[in-house]
Amino acid sequence: MTAIKSELDVLYNSDEGLKADVYYDADLEDYAGAVIDIHGGGWFRGDKAKDADWAQRLAGEGYYVFVPNYRYAPAAHFPAPLNDMEALYYWLTTSDYPFDHDHIGVVGSSAGGNMAVEMGIRYGLPVVSLSGILDIDHWLADHQDVVPQEGDTSQFNSTASSDINQTGANDAFYKWFVLNYFDDKTTEFESGTPYHRVSDKTGPMYLANSMNEFVPTSGVFQLAQTLVDHGIPVTTRFLTGTRHAKGYLDDVYDETVLFLRQTM
């Protein structure tokens, strides 16, 4: 039986006091590489502990897995979480952890899916994004009549990630947390929309979305087309129903592991 070990609350950014949880198979001597697993939460909630399940499964596949916390609203806004991932990446690539430092991938769900894509753009890493927040500037421009509304999100701090936002379209909530991420600064919507910065050095991507969930599918279409235009390999998967992000992880898990093996 696989013996998954964990090291919790490992400090990766002393300036901000940010920590990561680390998962690995203690019985292995050679690791397939490292996977960064970025939790979701709309940039205003969530915790690394909520991705322990996904991280443990990936560790069982032979990866060293790092699940970081990062700053979010109201204490911090765009681009602070992305800067935190830059600090994490530098820390990881200069660390003494026993994996091949030339083989790093990144996975994420929801807001974490957005941040995973951003890391793929910045560092050329292979990316798995489940329901990533990818359509920002165009969506906001096309939905100016939508009144942003948080609704009751108090229960989400104690709710499993796979159970959050499974009830379908919710444009008011989507607009609320996106505006919240940017602190209502309209001048940053374009720079915060990932596909505008895809280059020939962007990493390959696996992009998934449910067809009737609260995250619009348009972001996957826009990003995928841009990747194709730059000659970057991309796999898209659209699932029936309203499930969000890790809510459909079991359906895509084998595909994502195969994707990581092929691209890392």
Q: Could you tell me the pTM of the whole model? A: 0.95
For the chain, give the mean pLDDT.
93
Q: Which residues 6+ apart lie within 8 Å of 251 measured at CB?
A: 239
Bigger pLDDT: 171 vs 1 = 171
How many C-beta atoms surround the C-beta of residue 37 within 10 A? 28
Any idea where the domains of the chain sit in the sequence? Answer: 4-263
pLDDT single digits (tens) 52-78: 999 999 999 999 999 999 999 999 999
Percent share of the chain, pLDDT over 70: 94
Q: What is the mean pLDDT of residues 86-101?
A: 96
The pLDDT value given to residue 150: 86
Q: Sort 28 into a burial class: Cβ within 10 Å, 0-12 / 13-18 / 19+.
A: middle
Q: d(Cα 200, Cα 20) in Å, to the nearest integer? A: 30
Superfamily of segment(s) 4-263: Alpha/Beta hydrolase fold, catalytic domain (3.40.50.1820)
pLDDT single digits (tens) 97-156: 999 999 999 999 999 999 999 999 999 999 999 999 999 999 999 999 999 998 766 555
Q: Which residues 6+ apart lie within 8 Å of 61 measured at CB?
A: 32, 257, 260
